[in-house]
């Protein structure tokens, strides 16, 4: 049974929907969508009413997307949207299925964060290390950063002491004031602005919830315009770049307008509880993964004199060679970087001109960077590139957020195999789960199947998990 906007559509019993269901967790530079080939709906009385008689010229041009639900024996097979592409009293209603991930955030999808109105944050008369919002959640913080070059060669003329957010004896003293916003607060704010419910273990994690966005734009008023201190990323680019650093797993529901952000490594290390061994048919095609190595590469801010020559901490990480394979390299490029820690003071450090109206520095550029907020430590507001065993440098991420993924890449292969599954199996399909088949654990990369099921389903499996 197919419903559009809650009404059952008449579909001849011989017709079926051909689904191409794609695992959304295996690609990092895009958010892949599943597809479906929808049969033509006949122009019978029931269907004409559902489509509001749109085939008639007098009906006008208004053509909204329709809420699509496909049920079979009480199981919800797939939910998304139906887009009408052609209507005729003689041939019926033709259309396409979409999960609307390409427009998940609506009009804000491709806008830069610096173009979105995130509002303003009033600065307290006496600046505190952390500013909270009305729900008492941390909004932004003011960690001290060593940066003798903030005002270029002009710092000495205004008695600049070489530290941003300079904190002494329990109070901030004369220095550039630069707020650093918490990543989780920005994500929740994106949810509020776009009408999206954003949840997940990433937002509640005891360490990753302390992640902050580092910028070099000075506040020169009594309030902070939030967008001025955010990276020049679109919302999609922002979450995808966060995904690379933390190796995240996104679960989108375009109908409920929800996004769940969890960790992909947790899925890879979870026990295998599903078994499709009895459902497999005889025969399969097995192919190797030629790129058995992963390279984690971090783009540093070339305006930072300390990072220009790419210190060892920022060096690319390349996983070890694997015996007996071609050892190709799969690149993973991070646009987020971080700051070094000063060996003398223990504070984060850079040597870079900031963005300020003083000395004509309004157009000074800064690249997006990340740090962990440690709070007041030794009477200092402290943010560092590491916390609780997690570090933001490539070689360290390889041992934490990328450990299971790198290990999988070294042993993975692909298997194309047919299965005799039923509609319940399709309804319960979970691309983040591992499936056991004849002694080997797999992740389903893609499943092609028709509903109602009248034949076999063809799956592309990722083996070696």
- Looking at the domain assignment, is residue 57 inside a domain? yes
pLDDT confidence of residue 124: 87
- Looking at the domain assignment, is residue 167 inside a domain? yes
For 220, counting Cβ atoms within 10 Å of its Cβ (0-12 exposed, 13-18 middle, 19+ buried), the class is exposed
pLDDT at 141 exceeding the cut of 90? yes
- Looking at the domain assignment, is residue 169 inside a domain? yes
Task: State the Cα torsion 407-457-19-99 to the nearest 10°.
Answer: -30
- Looking at the domain assignment, is residue 280 inside a domain? yes
pLDDT confidence of residue 389: 96
Please check whether residues 167 and 28 belong to one and the same domain: no
Residue 57 binned pLDDT confidence (cut-offs 50, 70, 90): very high
Please check whether residues 131 and 83 belong to one and the same domain: no
pLDDT confidence of residue 134: 82
Residue 118 has phi, psi (to 5 degrees) of: -90, 5
Tokens of 301: 């801010």
Nearest to 331 by CA among 308, 298, 307, 302: 298
- Looking at the domain assignment, is residue 399 inside a domain? no
Please check whether residues 362 and 214 belong to one and the same domain: yes
Out of 104, 128, 157, a domain closes at 104
* 83-100 as b/e: b if 16+ CB within 10 A: bbeebeeeebbebebbbb
Q: How many angstroms separate the first and last alpha carbons of the chain?
A: 36
Tokens of 160: 């600049």
Please check whether residues 247 and 379 belong to one and the same domain: yes
Tokens of 192: 């509020």
* Domains contained in the chain, number: 3
Find the angle CA(140)-CA(345)-CA(206) to the nearest 5 degrees: 40
pLDDT confidence of residue 332: 97
Residue 323 binned pLDDT confidence (cut-offs 50, 70, 90): confident
Helical ranges in 171-252 per DSSP H: 183-194, 201-204, 235-246
Please check whether residues 284 and 338 belong to one and the same domain: no
CA distance linking residue 373 with residue 211, whole number of Å: 6
Please check whether residues 361 and 326 belong to one and the same domain: yes
Please check whether residues 54 and 174 belong to one and the same domain: no
Strand pairing class (258-263; 197-199): parallel
CA distance linking residue 150 with residue 218, whole number of Å: 10
CB 423 within 8 A of CB 77: yes
For 458, counting Cβ atoms within 10 Å of its Cβ (0-12 exposed, 13-18 middle, 19+ buried), the class is middle
pLDDT confidence of residue 324: 79
**pLDDT tens readout for residues 442-457:** 999 999 999 999 999 9
- Looking at the domain assignment, is residue 50 inside a domain? yes
Residue-averaged pLDDT of the chain: 95
Out of 57, 86, 104, a domain closes at 104
Out of 358, 392, 426, a domain closes at 392
Please check whether residues 111 and 99 belong to one and the same domain: no
pLDDT at 305 exceeding the cut of 90? yes
Nearest to 35 by CA among 72, 10, 68, 71: 68
- Looking at the domain assignment, is residue 33 inside a domain? yes
Find the angle CA(169)-CA(173)-CA(177) to the nearest 5 degrees: 125
Residue 59's domain comprises: 2-104
pLDDT confidence of residue 325: 77
Structure letter (DSSP) for residue 33: -
Please check whether residues 425 and 359 belong to one and the same domain: no
CB 180 within 8 A of CB 142: yes
Please check whether residues 84 and 168 belong to one and the same domain: no
| Beta bridge mates, 93 | 41, 87
Distances (CA, A) of 189 to 3, 120, 167, 238: 33, 12, 28, 13
Please check whether residues 238 and 346 belong to one and the same domain: yes
188-215 average pLDDT score: 97
Percent of the chain at pLDDT > 90 equals 92
CA distance linking residue 239 with residue 166, whole number of Å: 31
Model pTM score: 0.94
Please check whether residues 352 and 386 belong to one and the same domain: yes
CA distance linking residue 255 with residue 78, whole number of Å: 11
Helical ranges in 249-380 per DSSP H: 264-269
- Looking at the domain assignment, is residue 397 inside a domain? no
């Amino acid at each position: 049974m197919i419903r559009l906007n809650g009404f059952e559509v008449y579909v001849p019993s011989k017709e079926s929907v051909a689904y191409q269901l794609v695992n959304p967790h295996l690609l990092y530079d895009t958010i892949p969508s599943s597809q479906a080939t929808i049969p033509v709906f006949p122009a019978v009385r029931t269907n004409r009413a559902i489509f509001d008689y749109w085939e008639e010229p007098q009906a006008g041009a208004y053509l909204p997307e329709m809420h699509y639900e496909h049920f079979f024996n009480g199981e919800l097979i797939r939910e998304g949207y139906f887009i009408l592409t052609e209507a005729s009293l003689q041939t019926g209603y033709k259309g396409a299925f979409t999960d609307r991930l390409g427009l998940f955030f609506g009009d804000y999808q491709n806008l830069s964060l610096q173009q979105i109105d995130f509002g303003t944050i009033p600065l307290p008369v006496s600046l505190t290390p952390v500013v909270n919002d009305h729900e008492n959640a941390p909004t932004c913080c003011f960690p001290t950063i060593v940066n003798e070059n903030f005002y270029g060669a002009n710092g000495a003329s205004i008695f600049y002491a070489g530290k941003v957010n300079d904190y002494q004896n329990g109070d901030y003293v004369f220095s550039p004031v630069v707020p650093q916003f918490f990543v989780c607060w920005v994500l929740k704010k994106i949810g509020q602005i776009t009408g999206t419910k954003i949840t997940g273990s990433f937002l509640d994690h005891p360490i990753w919830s302390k992640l902050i966005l580092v910028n070099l734009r000075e506040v020169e008023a009594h309030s902070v315009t939030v967008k001025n201190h955010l990276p020049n990323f679109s919302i999609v680019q922002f979450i995808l770049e966060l995904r690379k650093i933390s190796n995240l797993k996104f679960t989108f529901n375009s109908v409920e307008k929800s996004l769940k952000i969890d960790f992909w490594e947790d899925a890879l290390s979870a026990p295998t509880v599903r078994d499709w061994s009895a459902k497999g048919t005889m025969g399969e095609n097995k192919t190797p993964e030629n790129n058995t190595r992963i390279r984690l590469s971090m783009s540093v801010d070339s305006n930072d004199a300390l990072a220009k020559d790419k210190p060892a901490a920022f060096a690319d990480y390349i996983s070890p060679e694997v015996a007996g394979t071609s050892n190709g390299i799969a690149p993973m490029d991070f646009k987020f970087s971080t700051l070094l820690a000063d060996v003398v003071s223990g504070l984060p450090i850079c040597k870079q001109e900031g963005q300020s109206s003083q000395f004509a520095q309004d157009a000074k550029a800064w690249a997006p960077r990340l740090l962990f907020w440690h709070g007041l430590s030794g009477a200092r507001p402290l943010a560092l590139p590491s916390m609780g065993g997690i570090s933001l440098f490539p070689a360290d991420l390889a041992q934490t957020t990328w450990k299971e993924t790198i290990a999988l890449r070294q042993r993975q292969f692909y298997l194309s195999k047919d299965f005799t599954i039923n509609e319940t199996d399709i309804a319960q399909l979970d691309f983040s789960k591992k499936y056991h088949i004849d002694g080997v654990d797999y992740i389903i990369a893609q499943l092609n199947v028709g509903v109602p099921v009248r034949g076999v389903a063809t799956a592309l499996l990722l083996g070696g998990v």
